Amino acid sequence: MLHLLNGPQTPGTGRGFWGTAALVLLLALLYPLLADSYTVGNTAYLMIWVFMAMGLCLIWGYGGMMSFGQTLFFGIAGYGYGVLAINFGGEGFTTVYALVLALGLAAVAAAVLGYFMIWGGVGGVFFGIVTLSATLVLAFFLGQTAGPEWHVGSARLNGFNGMKDMAPLNIPWSADGPLYFEGTTLYYAVLVLIVVVYLGLRMLLNSRFGNVVVAVREDPQRAELLGYDVRKYQLATFVIGSTLAGLSGALYTSWGQFITPASVGLPAAAMPIVWVAFSGRGDLTATTVGSFALLWVFQTLTVYSQQAALLLMGALLLCTVMLAPQGFVLGVSGALARLLAARGASPVQAGRAA
């Protein structure tokens, strides 16, 4: 178990790293006690998007497949949750069933699309083009569903106005009523999910599966000559990462009790690329921390000017590509680690010199 958490594919393995992680988790657990309910709910909203970033980190950073399709599966799962929650009634465990089935829809869609791309030999920049095309097709379709004929059971899609009035996640709790995952309750639920997904991905990446995925990224022909079915590993990576995007979509729909085609369109599709590229696509930890920080900055700027926020995202992507292709967060953390190591080694070196 420990060797999977501290393997070579996920930098950050020492006591200092895990001690810092435990401190950050403790502060996150105490945060709702120090902030008002609105701020806590808004923080939960920002955390919901981190799953999409972690999924893209897996697909792009470790799998080497640059995908523009994260919002495609975000939308499939988000609308899927809305349709199912409305038709199931939204009481008891029905919203939990809706969440699970919505993730299943995203996974099946990823498996179908991934199969045709990977077995069809689509790779490199064309992988991004195909996934972006599929995303734009879904966004365009959802925008044309304003009429009353566009419904699934009791759930109307509503075109650009978006679907609304679905129940938030809830479970039976007491005689007074169900426990709704909203505000502080949602915050803690998402925090637990982030920890579970993060640790699960670390273990996956440091397992035999993860090592093969990285080997395929580095040299697919060599991996194939060693006897591995490259296409199966690529497909599994794509499905897992896309399902995480679906988790963001379903949780987003539950959080706001609405979803619109704008959540799937081109500006939204570009955002995960910026988060992961800026953070460092080759490091799961950098992606998790950097994406949340960037989301917070983006939302803060959006309050004053949405255009300025979008310009900043574009500028960050350009600077990342030109100045720090491995990611600013990963680069800064690596520089700090080297600086601390050098300071720690200097007394030893001084002793040897004496």
Q: How high is the pLDDT of residue 348?
A: 42
Output the six-digit token pair for 88.
């199931």
Closest C-alpha among 163, 149, 115, 133 to residue 260: 163
Alpha-carbon distances of 44 from 55, 85, 167, 230, 259, rounded to whole Å: 18, 21, 17, 37, 17
What are the residue boundaries of the structural domains of the chain, listed by start? 2-340
Alpha-carbon distances of 289 from 89, 160, 269, 337, rounded to whole Å: 37, 32, 20, 16
| Per-residue pLDDT tens digits for 226-254 | 999 999 999 999 999 999 999 999 999 99
Q: How high is the pLDDT of residue 173?
A: 86
Topology of domain 2-340, CATH: ABC transporter involved in vitamin B12 uptake, BtuC (1.10.3470)
Output the six-digit token pair for 12.
């950050």
The single-letter DSSP state of residue 93 is T
> Greater confidence, 253 or 15?
253
**Minimum mean pLDDT among 70-84, 196-210, 311-325, 339-353: which range?**
339-353
Output the six-digit token pair for 77.
């799962």
Alpha-carbon distances of 84 from 59, 98, 100, 156, rounded to whole Å: 28, 5, 10, 11
Which of helix, strand or coil describes residue 267? helix
Q: Average pLDDT of 263-279?
A: 90
pLDDT bucket at 11, cuts 50 / 70 / 90: confident
Q: Is the pLDDT of residue 53 over 60?
A: yes
Q: How high is the pLDDT of residue 276?
A: 92
Q: Is the pLDDT of residue 346 over 70?
A: no
Q: How high is the pLDDT of residue 350?
A: 41
Q: Is the pLDDT of residue 311 over 60?
A: yes
The whole-angstrom separation of Cα 31 and Cα 39 is 10
| Per-residue pLDDT tens digits for 102-114 | 999 999 999 999 9
Q: Average pLDDT of 181-196?
A: 96
pLDDT bucket at 123, cuts 50 / 70 / 90: confident
> Greater confidence, 309 or 241?
241
Q: How high is the pLDDT of residue 351?
A: 42
Q: How high is the pLDDT of residue 342?
A: 73
Q: Is the dihedral of CA 232, 235, 241, 247 positive or negative?
A: negative
Name, in order, each residue with C-beta under 8 angstroms of 250's C-beta and a sequence gap of 6 or more. Answer: 77, 78, 80, 81, 98, 99, 102, 103
Q: Which residues pair with 164 in a beta bridge?
A: 258
Beta strands 163-164 and 151-152 are unpaired
Question: Is 30 within 8 Å of 173 (Cβ atoms)?
Answer: no
pTM of the model as a whole: 0.90
The whole-angstrom separation of Cα 127 and Cα 124 is 6
Q: Is the pLDDT of residue 354 over 70?
A: no
Q: How high is the pLDDT of residue 176?
A: 81
The chain-wide mean pLDDT, for the chain, equals 89
